[in-house]
Amino acid sequence: MFYAVGEIVLVVIGILIALQINKRNTNRKLQQVEIKTLTELKSDLDQCYEDIKADSAGFHRSKRANDIILHHMQNNLPYHDSLIPGFRNLYHFATFSIVRTTYDNISQTGANIISNDSMRLMISGIYDRWMNLYKELEERYLEEHYTSFIHPMTISQLKLNENNVSIPRDFEAFGKSNTNIQAMKFSQNMFQQMMNYQHTLMNEIQKVIDEIDMEIERLR
């Protein structure tokens, strides 16, 4: 009886040890999947960050171009070839594409693949709030302003020079148009507002990237 009980105890202990090992192995596999997912997500966010950074540089060039041209227009200064770069960069038409392949995969397979609750909230906030708002601003203001004012202005009042750069057909008439002045002032303000939002968005993306780095390090 003593030996029989002892054998049963040993069997139970063996089973418990096997279960524990199996549980550790399962958890390790889940951690590896989580690390892979977070690494891919970080890569997507890095690409978004760089795209926004490039767009921000484009907005800066366009705002500067509008500043220079408006200065000439409002001070009745004559046309000069130095304005050519300004007309070349008159309007930066951004078409930001959210890189969300990994995020969509997470949403489809289950967000619990990311074990950190606060990180899940940060990631969903970046994609579902911050980036969606950026796209909405881009579509509502940039595209609408271009379609309604900038494109008609360039078609009717600008021409291509020998270097295929748009310049005014008649700069004096172009500069006296109140519609042109108001359109370009709106562009100035819009570019500045977009750059302000981009600065905030890039900071938020960087925060998530930093948190992902720390979480990957913790899981390893």
d(C-alpha 177, C-alpha 182), whole Å? 9
User: What is the per-residue pLDDT for 107?
Assistant: 84
User: What is the per-residue pLDDT for 27?
Assistant: 61
- What's this model's pTM, rounded to 2 decimal places? 0.84
The boundaries of the domain holding residue 193 are: 2-219
φ/ψ of 205, rounded to 5, equals -65, -40
CA 55, distance to chain mean position in Å, is 9
| Segments in the chain below pLDDT 70 | 1-27, 111
What's the structural domain count of the chain? Answer: 1
pLDDT tens digits, residue range 7-38? Answer: 666 666 666 665 666 556 556 777 888 899 99
pLDDT tens digits, residue range 112-135? Answer: 788 888 988 999 999 999 999 999
User: What is the per-residue pLDDT for 220?
Assistant: 81
Distances (CA, A) of 140 to 45, 130, 148, 197: 24, 15, 12, 14
